[in-house]
């Protein structure tokens, strides 16, 4: 039986299965803050890697992450949940502050920065996938959520995660493998 033909109870038809909109609001707004930070981080990393082998894949992923954030805001609207501006601002601020971390270089961008930023994006995409999975589960009893849309978002999230893992492997190899004899590198 497909999702389109299956009859789902409405949120009000089964009180035991009703979605707690108050908790869902907090949950989705927290994810919106993360999506805001993730979108900015992905764009920043894509710009930083423009002209490298990583650039084209990161540009595509950054575009998809921005599209996923729009999907989340559309979902908030569909569920009549207001976006909490202070949480969005907190996500934006956290991403900007995250750029201030030490990376072993003061003037130029370090290859280590790309490794760390890829790891941060992987964490963000993993969190996003968890959100889509939770909403997909809720879609079984809440008619406001569209299973097919969530399935598409899950597939895209898994593709992003796989691509980021591959980019991370490539960047890790190029960052940490040097021509210097073992033990002669810079001490940190």
Tell me if 6 is assigned to some domain.
no
pLDDT at residue number 91 = 54
Supply the mean pLDDT for the chain. 81
Whether residue 98 contacts residue 120, with contact meaning beta carbons closer than 8 Å, is answered with: yes
> Six-digit token pair at 149?
């849309």
Whether residue 19 contacts residue 143, with contact meaning beta carbons closer than 8 Å, is answered with: no
Alpha carbon distance, N-terminus to C-terminus of the chain? 58
Q: If pLDDT is split at 50, 70 and 90, which confidence band does 12 have?
A: very low
pLDDT at residue number 105 = 46
pLDDT at residue number 113 = 87
Tell me if 34 is assigned to some domain.
yes
pLDDT at residue number 98 = 58
> Is the pLDDT confidence value at 33 over 70?
yes
Task: Between 43 and 112, name the one with better pLDDT.
Answer: 43
Tell me if 15 is assigned to some domain.
no
Q: If pLDDT is split at 50, 70 and 90, which confidence band does 169 have?
A: very high
Tell me if 168 is assigned to some domain.
yes
pTM of the predicted model as reported, rounded to 2 decimal places: 0.76
pLDDT digits (tens, 9 = 90+) for 102-158: 454 445 667 788 999 999 999 999 999 999 999 999 999 999 999 999 999 999 999
> Six-digit token pair at 70?
């729009």
pLDDT at residue number 188 = 45
Q: Which residue has the tokens 């409405």?
A: 10
59: domain range?
20-100+111-176
Spatial separation of the C-alpha atoms in residues 177 and 169, rounded to whole Å: 12
> Is the pLDDT confidence value at 186 over 60?
no
Tell me if 184 is assigned to some domain.
no
Question: Mean pLDDT across the stretch 155-181?
Answer: 90
> Is the pLDDT confidence value at 7 over 70?
no
Spatial separation of the C-alpha atoms in residues 61 and 73, rounded to whole Å: 18
Tell me if 188 is assigned to some domain.
no
Spatial separation of the C-alpha atoms in residues 129 and 156, rounded to whole Å: 9
Whether residue 132 contacts residue 34, with contact meaning beta carbons closer than 8 Å, is answered with: no
Number of folded domains that form the chain: 1
**Cβ burial, residue 49 (10 Å; 0-12/13-18/19+):** buried
The CATH number of the domain holding residue 24 is: 1.20.1260
Tell me if 186 is assigned to some domain.
no
């Amino acid at each position: 039986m497909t999702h389109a033909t299956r009859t789902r109870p409405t949120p009000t038809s089964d009180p035991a299965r009703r979605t707690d909109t108050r908790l869902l609001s907090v949950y989705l707004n927290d994810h919106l803050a993360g999506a805001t930070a993730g979108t900015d981080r992905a764009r920043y990393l894509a710009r930083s890697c423009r002209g490298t082998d990583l650039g084209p894949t990161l540009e595509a992923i950054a575009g998809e992450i921005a599209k996923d954030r729009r999907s989340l805001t559309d979902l908030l609207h569909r569920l009549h949940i207001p976006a909490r501006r202070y949480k969005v601002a907190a996500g934006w601020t956290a991403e900007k502050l995250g750029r201030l971390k030490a990376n072993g270089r003061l003037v130029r961008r370090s290859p280590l920065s790309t490794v760390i930023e890829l790891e941060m994006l992987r964490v963000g995409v993993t969190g996003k996938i968890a959100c889509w999975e939770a909403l997909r589960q809720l879609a079984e009893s809440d008619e406001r959520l569209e299973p097919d849309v969530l399935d598409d978002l899950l597939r895209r999230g898994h593709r992003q995660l796989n691509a980021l893992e591959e980019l991370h492997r490539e960047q890790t190899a190029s960052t940490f493998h040097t021509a210097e004899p073992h033990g002669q590198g810079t001490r940190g």
